Chain A
Amino acid sequence: MPGAPAATDAELIARVRAGEVNAFEPLITRHRQQVLAIAARHVPAAEVAATAQDVFVRAFLSLKSYRAERPFGHWLARIAVRACCDFWRQQKRLPETAAAALDGDQADWLEQVTRSAALEAFEKDAERRAATEVLEWALARLSATERITVTMLHRDGHSIRDIAELLGWTAARVKVTAFRARRKLRGWLGAALRKER
Chain B
Amino acid sequence: MQRDTTAVDQVEQALWRAGARSSAPAFATPVEAWQAGVMRAIRLAADRGGLDVDFSWLALQRAAALLVLTAALSWLLVWQITPATETLLAQEAWLSHSDVVNVDSWNGE
Question: Which A positions have Cβ atoms within 8 angstroms of B?
Answer: 16-17, 19, 21-22, 24-25, 28-29, 32, 36-37, 40-41, 45, 48-49, 52-53, 56-57, 60-65, 110, 113-114, 116, 119, 121-122, 128, 131-132, 134-135, 138, 151, 154-157, 182, 185-186, 189-190, 193-194
One of B17, B20, B25, B37 near A45 (C-beta < 8 A): B25
Name the interface residues of B26-73: CB closer than 8 Å to any CB of A. 27-29, 31, 34-35, 37-39, 41-43, 45-46, 50-55
One of B7, B31, B50 near A32 (C-beta < 8 A): B31
Q: A53-B34, A65-B52, A193-B4 are in contact. Are A122 and B18 (CB under 8 A)?
A: yes
Residue pairs across A and B with CB atoms within 8 Å: the count is 120
One of A25, A119, A134, A185 near B35 (C-beta < 8 A): A25
Q: Would you call B10 and A119 a contact (CB within 8 A)?
A: yes
Expressed in whole angstroms, the minimum distance between the Cβ of B102 and any Cβ of chain A is 68
Q: Would you call B8 and A189 a contact (CB within 8 A)?
A: yes
Q: Would you call B20 and A36 a contact (CB within 8 A)?
A: no
| CA of A110 to CA of B10, assembled, Å | 10
Q: A45-B25, A49-B27, A135-B19 are in contact. Are A189 and B11 (CB under 8 A)?
A: yes
Q: Would you call A185 and B21 a contact (CB within 8 A)?
A: no
One of B12, B39, B46, B54 near A28 (C-beta < 8 A): B39
Q: Would you call A131 and B46 a contact (CB within 8 A)?
A: no
**B interface, by DSSP: helix, strand, loop or mixed?**
helix
Question: Which B positions have Cβ atoms within 8 angstroms of A?
Answer: 4, 7-8, 10-22, 24-25, 27-29, 31, 34-35, 37-39, 41-43, 45-46, 50-55
| CA of A60 to CA of B50, assembled, Å | 9
One of A36, A57, A114, A193 near B27 (C-beta < 8 A): A36
Q: Would you call B8 and A186 a contact (CB within 8 A)?
A: yes
Q: Would you call A24 and B39 a contact (CB within 8 A)?
A: yes
One of B8, B27, B43, B55 near A21 (C-beta < 8 A): B43
Q: Would you call A60 and B11 a contact (CB within 8 A)?
A: no
One of A64, A114, A119, A154 near B54 (C-beta < 8 A): A64
Q: List 10 A-B contacts (CB under 8 A).
A: A32-B31, A45-B28, A49-B37, A65-B52, A113-B11, A121-B14, A122-B18, A122-B21, A135-B16, A186-B12
Task: List the B residue with the shortest CB-CB distance to A44.
Answer: B25
Task: List the A residue with the shortest CB-CB distance to B32.
Answer: A29
Q: Would you call B27 and A60 a contact (CB within 8 A)?
A: no
Residues on A with C-beta less than 8 A from B55 are 64-65
| CA of A134 to CA of B24, assembled, Å | 17
